[in-house]
Amino acid sequence: MLGNALQQTLAYDKSGRLSSQRLMGATQWSRQYQYDAAGQLVGIADNRSGQLNYRYDPVAAYWRPPPPRRGKLPLRPRRQPAGQRPAADGHQDDSLLGNLLSQYAGRHYRYDSRGNLVEKRVNGSLTKLEWDSHNRLSRLIAPDGQRTDYHYDPLGRRIAKISQGEATLYGWDGDVLAFETRDEAAVHYLFEPDSFVPLAQVHTDAIRGVKVPAWSQHHPTTRTRTRCASPRRNPRPPRRCTTTTPTTWAPRKR
């Protein structure tokens, strides 16, 4: 529900792509989106502005709108073959170094050897980013010095975000986000069965974790130090070590 009693409805296909938009209320507006087999947008049907079609070359480097209306829509390139967006005059932009954007509209960017953004400078304000060995964002330092740390599970899913002592925890149902919870509230995410298409959000109180007792609480264990002889260069069999004596057996001399 939007302002002025307007209601917007979004529909998605099985691949999670936006397939239609509808705006109901005092203003009636709708759009239908069409995609090709490669997942590229090929058409938009708008009940107000009509049909808009897109065409791509074999490497998806350019797009073409329909024939210009009254000569106002010229053919223009979508991207360079390396994926770079060209300048307004169609020439290569020098701010694209190594196929990475280094500056744009007063913003300056710096990357590490793996192509991860490590610095972003805007009007003198510097934001720093750190990445782990799996190219996952591990820390963000804002211009005011505020630090945010990110943690992941063995499957690469983000499970926690910690900033100024406040933690946001994430729960997963397979590969889809099931919930996120903070100290004061939680949000649950619902998806259509066996898909990534979002269905609903449910806002509840914060999720409280369940304390899991440690094994040693119910099964006391003791620790004893074991002494073992260091390996030797002669071809003797290794010695067996226990907690009572340094050596329980050794090869006999012949």
Of 128, 143, 158, the last residue of a domain is: 143
Non-local (6+) Cβ contacts of 41 within 8 A are 33, 34, 35, 54
Is 76 part of a structural domain of the chain? no
Same-domain pairing of 172 and 184: yes
Q: How far is CA 252 from CA 62, 236, 249, in A?
A: 82, 10, 9
pLDDT of residue 129: 97
Non-local (6+) Cβ contacts of 136 within 8 A are 150, 152, 156, 158
d(CA 158, CA 151): 6
Q: Which domain holds residue 108?
A: 95-143
213-219 long-range contacts (CB < 8 A, ≥24 apart) are none
Is 202 part of a structural domain of the chain? yes
Residue 169 parent element (H or E): strand 166-173
Same-domain pairing of 131 and 171: no
| pLDDT tens-digit profile, the chain (254 residues) | 565 667 889 999 988 899 999 988 767 889 999 998 888 888 999 988 889 888 876 655 555 555 555 544 444 545 555 555 555 555 555 555 567 888 888 899 999 988 899 999 999 899 999 999 999 999 999 999 999 999 999 999 999 999 998 999 999 999 999 999 998 999 999 999 989 999 999 999 999 877 777 766 666 666 666 655 555 555 555 555 554 545 445 555 55
d(CA 35, CA 245): 75
Instruction: Identify the three-state secondary structure at position 131.
Output: strand
Same-domain pairing of 150 and 209: yes
Is 39 part of a structural domain of the chain? no
Same-domain pairing of 117 and 130: yes
pLDDT of residue 74: 46
Of 198, 216, 234, the last residue of a domain is: 216
Is 240 part of a structural domain of the chain? no
Instruction: Identify the three-state secondary structure at position 186.
Output: strand
Torsion angles phi and psi, residue 22, rounded to 5: -135, 135
pLDDT of residue 55: 81
Same-domain pairing of 150 and 208: yes
Is 62 part of a structural domain of the chain? no
Instruction: Identify the three-state secondary structure at position 217.
Output: helix
Is 11 part of a structural domain of the chain? no
Residue with tokens 């006391």: 220
The distance of Cα 55 from the centroid of its chain, to the nearest Å, equals: 29
Domain total for the chain?
A: 2
Same-domain pairing of 159 and 105: no
Return the DSSP state at 38: T
Is 163 part of a structural domain of the chain? yes
pTM attached to this predicted model:
0.51
Is 77 part of a structural domain of the chain? no
pLDDT of residue 49: 84
